[in-house]
Structure 1
Amino acid sequence: MDRSIPLLVFLLGVLLFGTNNGQVFGNTNDTPQSFEKLFTEGGYKTVEAALDEFEKHFKQELKLPLRVPPISFTHHFGRFSNLDGEINDALILVFF
């Protein structure tokens, strides 16, 4: 077998995939999706809005802890999942 064919295939692969910084065939979107946008697309919103949905659904006030840890959070998200019935409804609060 001719040795130039594997070398040619290798060089072609380097040319196609090695010069575009890991992007596949001309994907020019260099900016990653924002952290907040990922969570909002997943159904998360502000903690206050999710808490308000929860309280309206169950028709009672939910008291969250008054003391917060001595660390600062940069991101706060909440999501209320209202499934059929009242058995599997959930309030999810995420702090980063």
Structure 2
Amino acid sequence: MAVYDAIGAGTGFIGLTNKRVIIQDNSFVGKKTALTSIPYAKVQSVSYVSDKSMLGKFASSSTIALQAGGTTHEVQPRGQEKASHVHNVILWNIMQ
């Protein structure tokens, strides 16, 4: 359905299919990369975390926090609109 490049430490991208979320994590020691595939049925929660300005008029960065299997995965897509889309797609799929 969508693949978004991510910024910030550790994360390469987040992919959304009709059955799962796929996250590339580049934060392993020795330049190792993990490709984590999480079925929507195993997602316990999804959060849209925004770093808003003091006036609350814009977000300088937006992060998606996804909890599954006792682990929280954080991804910061490039852009507020992309982060919102990722959150909404995951939320829609876990509500099915």
Shorter-chain TM-score category? under 0.3
User: Which of the pair has the greater relative contact order for Cα pairs under 8 Å at 6+ separation?
Assistant: 2
**TM-score, length of structure 2 as denominator length:** 0.24
Q: Which has the larger radius of gyration?
A: 1
Which has a greater percent of strand?
A: 2
